[in-house]
Amino acid sequence: MHTRENGKSRSSFVSNKLTIASILIVTEIKVLEEFGEHEKLGEPRPFEAKAEDEESKPNPTTIGTSGFYGKQEESKPRSMPSHSKSSFSAAHANIHPIEAISPYSNKWTIKARCTSKSDIKTWHNRNGEGKLFSVNLLDESGEIRATGFNEQCDQLYDLFQEGSVYYITSPCRVTFAKKQFSNLPNDYELHFEKDTIVEKAEEQDGVPQVRYNFTSIADLQSVEKDTTIDIIGVLKDVGETSQITSKTTSKPYDKRELTLVDNTGYSVRLTVWGKTAASFDIPPESVVAFKGVKVSDFGGRSLSLLSSGSVSANPDMPEAHKLKGWFDDHGRSDNFATHAGVQGTVSAGGTRRDPFKTIAQIKDEQLGMSENADFFSLKASVQYIKQDTFCYPACLSEGCNKKVVEIDPGQWRCERCDKTHPKPEYRYIMSVNISDHTGQLWVSCFDETGRQIIGKTADELMEIKEVDDKKLADIISDAVCKTWNWKCKAKLDNFQEQQRVRYQVSSAAPLNYVTESQKLIELIKQYNID
């Protein structure tokens, strides 16, 4: 921004240099008089653009040792020219704050610190496959999440380093934030494009390191389940690393239990996962700040570090210094209370409320990986039903439902009831793949849910299977692609000496389109722009 004054006149303007012209944007001007002629102020001259050859025009380049990313003509493969940084000087002179970015923003440059970088994730679905990674960006005004897909993932992943400051210049797609993937307080997020320019800043100061909004351990009793918070405390105890296996991916996950205390006189258990758990080497009695932890109602209140969260040991901030002084003074000998008496979230009628989740949230929040079961609801469509084992022969005794074994033709034995029946009652126990717009999940459905999905009893379906395999396939095919509201339970299950999360369906209900429309209307209202 430039300001020029001369006598009674005053003006402010911004000069932007594009590849084809120089543009002067007047941001403030004062009119002396509307009519009449006046003498000239100063010595104005016509503007003449200087001729420039192709080498002097701004030409963003691919990633090199200088840390730039962008576009480069294939006909001129070369290293970064020594004068390329000057092409960014005009853009850097007018830095936009993150909070000002919206889908209606055009050309902008932000200067932000990378506070978090995810691992590269891959996906495979009917539309193909790909990979992505995300970073959290922070400046004085706020935070925003940015994601690079496929080619941008390959080119940008190694460039971004947690803790470093970068200039990022549009074009860069601005979309509404997917809250199931991010806990940042921003309505928008960025998607890197092939012409997006990313440059590591030479000056690494002037940008905040991280922004916290701490909740004290005592105040956790008033925080609702599944809320994402930041917390700081003294590390009282560090547990050993253990391992569980995810049922959805069959991949092992490391986990580690930590105990935090603070000067409110309370303690809380916090679980860290994956690489964070395996490499955790912060010694006890350190002050540790956690950003992005999920509140659970297990044991009254407990915490779990999200995959997008971060850990900082002995941070240089007033809250940490205060806790360190308190702990050294008398905190080591204090006795700490827990939130064991705090009850889980219930509805007005006294029944448990199962929070609505997307499949991505279920996986990202590690539901089912704690000692107690997690309950949730979701809206998803049936994608596949396993036909080989969709039911089992059950005992005919009322209330038994245990599996029976055919010992002789017409003789089905129940060990629990110590009875033999002439035939069994087949009951559903289906393995069903369901999906929403964020991912897919394998769930187990039992008899009542199976009857709803198939529209027939398991006895009827078994009779069809014995005489007409094609009709069986048609009936199951008719059940695919239908959408239901599911109520589920996620719980750790031991199978062949491995721990896996098992997702069980407790009920399924058809969509109420009036209710669903009302939900969509309320969601749309959240994005209304005045």
DSSP state of 371: S
Task: Pick 124 or 495 by higher pLDDT.
Answer: 124
According to the model, what pLDDT value does residue 22 have? 62
Q: Is the pLDDT of residue 156 over 90?
A: yes
Report CA 189 to chain centroid distance, whole Å.
12
According to the model, what pLDDT value does residue 30 have? 72
Provide the mean pLDDT of the chain. Answer: 79
Span 336-357, mean pLDDT? 59
Q: Is the pLDDT of residue 410 over 50?
A: yes
Strand pairing category for 242-245 and 252-261:
antiparallel
Cβ neighbours for 201, distance < 8 A, ≥ 6 positions apart: 111, 164, 165, 166, 167
The lowest-confidence range among 54-63, 115-124, 267-276 is 54-63
Q: What percentage of residues in the chain have a pLDDT greater than 90?
A: 31
According to the model, what pLDDT value does residue 32 have? 64
List the structure tokens of 377: 């609801």
Residue 388's region, left for phi above 0, alpha for psi from -120 to 50, else beta, is alpha
Span 415-430, mean pLDDT? 89
Cα(24)–Cα(405) distance, integer angstroms = 86
As a 3-state breakdown, the chain gives helix, strand, coil percent values, each rounded to 5, of 20, 40, 45
According to the model, what pLDDT value does residue 497 have? 64
Task: Pick 142 or 247 by higher pLDDT.
Answer: 142
pLDDT digits (tens, 9 = 90+) for 70-103: 444 443 333 333 333 444 444 465 788 888 888 8
pLDDT digits (tens, 9 = 90+) for 190-204: 999 999 999 998 887
Beta strands in 387-482 (DSSP E): 391-394, 405-408, 411-414, 419-421, 425-436, 439-446
According to the model, what pLDDT value does residue 461 have? 92
Cα(371)–Cα(373) distance, integer angstroms = 7
The Cα-based distances of 168 to 112, 117, 159, 192 in angstroms read 8, 16, 12, 10
Instruction: Count the Cβ atoms, other than its own, within 10 Å of residue 269.
Output: 21
Q: Is the pLDDT of residue 336 over 70?
A: yes
Task: Pick 15 or 99 by higher pLDDT.
Answer: 99
Span 486-496, mean pLDDT? 83
The Cα-based distances of 203 to 53, 137, 138, 165, 166 in angstroms read 30, 16, 15, 8, 9
Q: Is the pLDDT of residue 13 over 80?
A: no
Q: Is the pLDDT of residue 51 over 60?
A: no
According to the model, what pLDDT value does residue 340 have? 67
According to the model, what pLDDT value does residue 198 have? 93
Cβ neighbours for 307, distance < 8 A, ≥ 6 positions apart: 118, 273, 274, 364
Cα(61)–Cα(156) distance, integer angstroms = 13
Burial string for 451-486 (b: 16+ CB within 10 Å, else e) reads bbbbebbbeebbeebeeeeeebeebbeebeeeebbb
Burial string for 365-391 (b: 16+ CB within 10 Å, else e) reads bbbbbbeebbbbbbbbebbebeeeebb
- Containing H/E element for 245? strand 242-245
Task: Pick 427 or 39 by higher pLDDT.
Answer: 427
According to the model, what pLDDT value does residue 289 have? 93
pLDDT digits (tens, 9 = 90+) for 215-258: 999 888 778 887 888 999 999 999 988 887 766 566 778 889 99
The lowest-confidence range among 140-149, 224-233, 291-300, 423-432 is 291-300
